[in-house]
Amino acid sequence: MKSYLSITKYTILVCTALLITACSKEPVKQPDSEKSQALVLLRGLPTLDTKHSVAIIELDPESAKFGEILQDYELSNLAEPLHHLYYSPTGRLYATGLDINCSLAEIKLVRDLNGAPLIKGHHCLDTQGQVIGEDIMWHTSNGKEYMFVTFMGGGGLDQADGGSVGVFDPQTNDVVKIISARKSQVDAGKPYIMYPHGISAYKDRMVIASTIHPDLKTGVGSTITIIDLNSLSPIETITVEDAKPVGFPSSPVEVLFVRPSIVENVKPGVLVNTMFGFETWYIPFNEADKTFAEPVKIYNGVDEGTGVPLEFYGTKDELFISHAIPGVVKRYKLSSLPELVSSGPDIKAELGAHHMIFYPSSSGRKLIAVQNNLLNLGNQADNDPTDIDFIAKVNDHSLTIHDLTSSKRLKTINFKEKYNKGIENIEALFGSGFIHHH
């Protein structure tokens, strides 16, 4: 009799619970703010059995989802990962790539039934054999807009002095022209293009930086080359080097044509970060006769205790330069350029401090996220076949999130520990500031 009663009571309890559940109102779900979401390019690590991918990640330290990958779109057919993300002026998403079969790609983003962003596919573009895509810039010349892409490997990795700039139709992605001028194939003293990486432009002058052969051993550059955008051909190569603190050529990596659209009333000129020179240089530009003056060193990393300067990024009033060693981002007053006048304390990130994004938290706090990896290659200690000792030391595989006002670090995400992957690049879901690499 007791068990009969128990069953009856249990039935009453279960039915009541089911009815209460059915009648209860679902809470109103507020959508996640997308301003704190980012796109990241992730590198699968061979010893950890992971695949390269493009992912959407939540970076609001105030969110319960902080550090969560919201979507991981695997690039299972690529031997090497995608490298840098860029939004075109019309909102199309592109990525350069390190895989020789996918050196430039367009990525399709849509929205799903819940309104959330969704990476729906990618399409590797025809580059007419140009490999190892690095940076992209959209720029108008003679009333026509082009998409310019630097290919650090040029026509093939077997070229010891390769490198090119691809000029694409920004609508159709078709190649308009490949600008190349290998040092071995031009007369002595003539301008050449070798291992181009950084790219920037002002009016009809474009500047590209000669960095390093993609295999990281065949050769290292020490110059920048000026391209006349009227003829789409190189017109001058300028050496940017003096001391060699680590014995290598200076390896100019990123360039920024400082121009009035960035700094009001500024006299145009080019800033150059030299990866192995540990320096930042300034090359004044005479707009009247379109000549470039002798480069002037304006920052010496050896004196300042920093090495491997990499990126230029900007907000509306500051310029940020990342230094992979010891892993800091230095900040400067934009209005003082080309002088580098400090605008705040260093942002202490991690070894490999490289790309960055700026975004607000849900409470409106201004934040910066710094991606800390020079090249994401592996470490012999992990039995990783991609090991290159020097590079391995400047790969922290992390994102550090800092308060933009105080520079104070708030959070860290280590991708290797959390997702068994490296992080190659980061871009805000809605794009970066107005400078962004160039």
The residues of the shown chain that bind other proteins, judged by CB under 8 A, are 1, 4-5, 8-9, 11-12, 15-16, 18-19, 22, 26-29, 31, 34, 90-92, 106, 109-118, 120, 170-173
CA atoms of 66 and 122, how far apart (whole Å):
26
Task: Decide whether 33 or 300 has the Cβ nearer to other proteins.
Answer: 33
273: left (phi over 0), alpha (psi -120 to 50) or beta: beta
- Fill in the DSSP letter of residue 369: E
Least distance from other proteins to the Cβ atom of residue 382, Å: 37
Identify the CA nearest to 207 among candidates 137, 156, 274.
Answer: 137
Task: Decide whether 30 or 76 has the Cβ nearer to other proteins.
Answer: 30
- Strands annotated E in 223-295: 223-228, 233-239, 252-258, 269-274, 279-286, 291-292
Task: Decide whether 27 or 247 has the Cβ nearer to other proteins.
Answer: 27
Task: Decide whether 118 or 246 has the Cβ nearer to other proteins.
Answer: 118
Task: Decide whether 92 or 333 has the Cβ nearer to other proteins.
Answer: 92
CA atoms of 116 and 360, how far apart (whole Å):
18
Tell me the C-alpha to C-alpha distance, in Å, between residue 234 and each of 3, 180, 224: 92, 8, 10
Least distance from other proteins to the Cβ atom of residue 178, Å: 20
Task: Decide whether 33 or 218 has the Cβ nearer to other proteins.
Answer: 33
Q: Is residue 13 classed exposed, middle or buried when 0-12, 13-18 and 19+ CB atoms within 10 A define those classes? A: exposed
CB of 44 within 8 A of CB of 55?
A: no
Tell me the C-alpha to C-alpha distance, in Å, between residue 208 and each of 180, 205, 255, 373: 12, 10, 7, 22
Least distance from other proteins to the Cβ atom of residue 123, Å: 11
Task: Decide whether 158 or 172 has the Cβ nearer to other proteins.
Answer: 172
- Fill in the DSSP letter of residue 263: S
Q: Is residue 342 classed exposed, middle or buried when 0-12, 13-18 and 19+ CB atoms within 10 A define those classes? A: exposed
Least distance from other proteins to the Cβ atom of residue 362, Å: 14
Task: Decide whether 172 or 265 has the Cβ nearer to other proteins.
Answer: 172
Least distance from other proteins to the Cβ atom of residue 14, Å: 8
Task: Decide whether 5 or 64 has the Cβ nearer to other proteins.
Answer: 5
The encoded tokens of residue 191 equal 């301008």
Tell me the C-alpha to C-alpha distance, in Å, between residue 19 and each of 10, 11, 14, 28, 385: 14, 12, 9, 20, 59
CA atoms of 70 and 430, how far apart (whole Å):
16
The encoded tokens of residue 39 equal 């796109």
Which residue pairs from 379-383 have beta carbons closer than 8 angstroms and sit at least 24 positions apart in sequence? 382/45, 382/47, 383/47
Least distance from other proteins to the Cβ atom of residue 5, Å: 7
CA atoms of 396 and 275, how far apart (whole Å):
18
Least distance from other proteins to the Cβ atom of residue 122, Å: 14
Least distance from other proteins to the Cβ atom of residue 138, Å: 13
Least distance from other proteins to the Cβ atom of residue 429, Å: 9
Least distance from other proteins to the Cβ atom of residue 348, Å: 33
Identify the CA nearest to 341 among candidates 280, 286, 402.
Answer: 280
Task: Decide whether 18 or 293 has the Cβ nearer to other proteins.
Answer: 18
310: left (phi over 0), alpha (psi -120 to 50) or beta: alpha
